[in-house]
Structure 1
């Protein structure tokens, strides 16, 4: 069995765990800390933004196979075993399709941008020249602006590629219907 097939199987298992985690988070027996961890895991899972983009072969799935299982494991560890078993059974009986959440993506973008600007601030403050430190506000604002422009560009590209995929999926059917109606 190839590594790619194994990775795809692991991602499928992970999706079932995410659905179970969703149900467990809504269970009244679940405490506030596991709910918060579950919300973080679900936000990351449903965010269209990943640390490593999924279109990069093999590496694109690694963050899904490391970060998400870690968050899920921690949340499950804190959830009562009865609530988790009930959630897993319900996930098998009632699978749901959780959609990508662009609000979660914006939150992830804000966290990453803030972290990048903070790291730049610390590096500039510690190692920057005096003139660079005098213009630190401009440097940080420019960096933040560039990051936001990159993210907007990425979002537009992603939405256009999704729209293109949907139209490509519909095109053969439309062409077939057109040929059949002409015959």
Structure 2
């Protein structure tokens, strides 16, 4: 019975995290939000909605670090930067939204960074050892 309770808590936290992301997505374009909070919120939302991770999940331990620590921490800090009235107003709107938006620009950016990194490493290895 205790494990079911822990599982229920984890499911609740996951739903809450998704709801908070949608709140951030709706809030970053609000004119009442200061520019630095908009910038930080936009970065958090773009990274969280991106289908590509900065640290790929196949890397042991570090791969899940962003999913377990970095994204929730970013959401927490972004929510602290936003005015309470903006959060409450967008919380009601977030309840109506069922799916998260796709951010293909960020996905393309992360793919480009990984491709450039692979090319650079390949050139380094080629120049060094061949």
Q: TM-score, normalised by structure 2?
A: 0.69
In 2, Cα distance between equivalents of 1:98 and 1:86: 18
Give the aligned partner of residue 163 of structure 1: none
Give the aligned partner of residue 15 of structure 1: 18
In 2, Cα distance between equivalents of 1:70 and 1:113: 28
In 1, Cα distance between equivalents of 2:113 and 2:12: 30
CA contact (8 A) 1:34 1:79 kept: yes
SS in structure 1 at match of 2:52:
coil
Aligned length: 121
In 2, Cα distance between equivalents of 1:116 and 1:13: 36
In 2, Cα distance between equivalents of 1:37 and 1:99: 18
Q: Any stretches of 5+ residues in structure 2 without a counterpart?
A: none
Give the aligned partner of residue 148 of structure 1: none
Give the aligned partner of residue 139 of structure 1: 124
Aligned CA distance change for structure 1 residues 16 and 110 (closer, same or farther; 3 Å): same
Q: Any stretches of 5+ residues in structure 1 without a counterpart?
A: 121-136, 143-183
- Select the structure with the greater relative contact order (CA < 8 A; seq sep ≥ 6): 2
State whether structure 2 residue 108 is matched by structure 1 residue 106. yes
State whether structure 2 residue 89 is matched by structure 1 residue 86. yes
| CA drift at 1:6 | 4.3
Q: TM-score, normalised by structure 1?
A: 0.52
| CA drift at 1:110 | 4.0
Aligned CA distance change for structure 1 residues 79 and 112 (closer, same or farther; 3 Å): farther
Q: Please, what is the CA RMSD of the aligned residues? A: 3.5
